[in-house]
Amino acid sequence: MQHAILNYLPVNIKNIIKKLDYSSDQLLEIRLRVNKPLEVNTFQDSIFLSYQVKHEDIEEAMIILTDNSLYALERQLREGFITIKGGHRIGFSGQVIVKDGNIKTIKNINSINYRLTRELPGTADRVINYIYNYRYHNIYNTLIISPPICGKTTLLRDIIRQISNGQTNNGIESKKVGVVDERSEIAGAYNGIAQNKIGKRTDLLDNCPKAKGMLLLIRSMSPEVIAVDEIGSKEDVRAIEEAVNTGVKLIATIHGNDLKTIKNRPAINRLIDKKFFSRFIILSRRDGIGTVEAILNQQGERIN
């Protein structure tokens, strides 16, 4: 198997993964846990290899991932993952150091999870017609609701790309899109430059807290559409309310199973009650990652 991620694996594990008979786009995760067998997850199944991961492997992996420069990755260490070139995400867990109730850093890493991003251009084809308002030629405020690993970020990324590029034959106008990528997931930015295809008219604010970033983008980059991942906190909602009053359209994602579970979260519920979102896209894994369960309108009625 050949994959850019191999360069980020400790040498022992790299040699094992290299020999595996998978094509690189089948691979989903490579998991290292101290004193546990090496785990590889693909789209089809998860397999355990006979290799026992050693403490030294994890240590070596962390040195590779941090480039011997913990000081440059304080924020990432606090959040528990690092984004590498190519937009892949490497998560880790270990002993958490807490200060004043906040996570300060994670030390003595015991597990590392290499999550491979897949860019799937065309994922948004199924939904783009529902979220584009052909009459006024703008985007509906859209909320993508999805449990983890159901492809919500992949979908959001492709929506951003399609809106940003526009589709002349489909009557979709190209829009200026501002992306606030708090965790470098959407654009997979490395050194601030997007590694994933996010469209020609997209301005990226990498690593920036969502609430602050949305308002900053409106002031500085005059976007027509703003896209953010995983909203939920009170600050997010307040920033969204403020942003929408400036006439900017919003596309956001949130963790959840359906509209009902989302409504249990007070901050978000306030937005829904105010009829802020005109479209809801609900994802699941029923027919594989990225299954579109339903697309709902403002009233919560199914329209697909």
Partner 1 sequence: MFIKLAGSLLIIISATVIGWYRARQYLLRVKHLKELHLAFSIFNTEISYRQTILPEALSKCSNSVEEPVASLFKNTAGDLNLKRGKKFEEIWQQYLNKSESFSGCLKKADIKILREWGQQIGKSELSEQKKINQLTLEKLDIARKNAENEAEKKVKLIRYTGLLFGLMIVILLY
Q: How far is the CB of 100 from partner 1 (least distance, A)?
A: 15
Shortest separation between residue 61's beta carbon and partner 1, angstroms: 8
Reported residue count of the chain is 304
Tokens read off for 269: 């519920």
How many CB atoms are closer than 10 A to CB 158?
25
Closer residue to partner 1 in complex, CB, 17/292: 17
Which one, 72 or 303, has the nearer CB to partner 1? 72
Give the Cα separation of 137 and 127 in Å (integer): 16
Question: Rounded to the nearest whole angstrom, what is the least distance from the CB of residue 23 to partner 1 in the complex?
Answer: 25
201, 228 Cβ separation under 8 angstroms: no
Nearer to partner 1, 9 or 292 (CB): 9
Q: Residue 27 or residue 82: which is nearer to partner 1 going by CB? A: 82
Nearer to partner 1, 168 or 191 (CB): 191
Shortest Å, Cβ 33 to partner 1: 19
10 Å CB burial of residue 101 (0-12, 13-18, 19+) is exposed
Residues forming a β-bridge with 92: 112
Asked if 179 and 204 count as a contact pair (C-beta separation under 8 A), the reply is yes
Nearer to partner 1, 11 or 47 (CB): 11
Cα distance between residue 189 and residue 208, in whole Å: 12
DSSP labels, 196-253: S---TTEEEEET--HHHHHHHHHHHH--SEEEESS--SHHHHHHHHHHHTTT-EEEEE
User: By the criterion CB under 8 A, which residues form the site for partner 1?
Assistant: 7, 10-11, 60-61, 63-64, 66-72, 74, 105
Retrieve residue 42's tokens.
């693909």
Phi, psi angle pair for 287, to nearest 5° = -110, 45
Give yes or no for a contact between 215 and 177, defined as CB atoms under 8 angstroms apart: no
Distance of closest approach, residue 108 Cβ to partner 1, in angstroms: 13
Which residue number, 60 or 258, has a Cβ lying nearer to partner 1? 60
Could you tell me the CA-to-CA distances from 133 to 99, 136, 137, 141, 179 in Å, in that order? 48, 6, 5, 10, 20
118 sits in which H/E element:
none
Nearer to partner 1, 71 or 136 (CB): 71
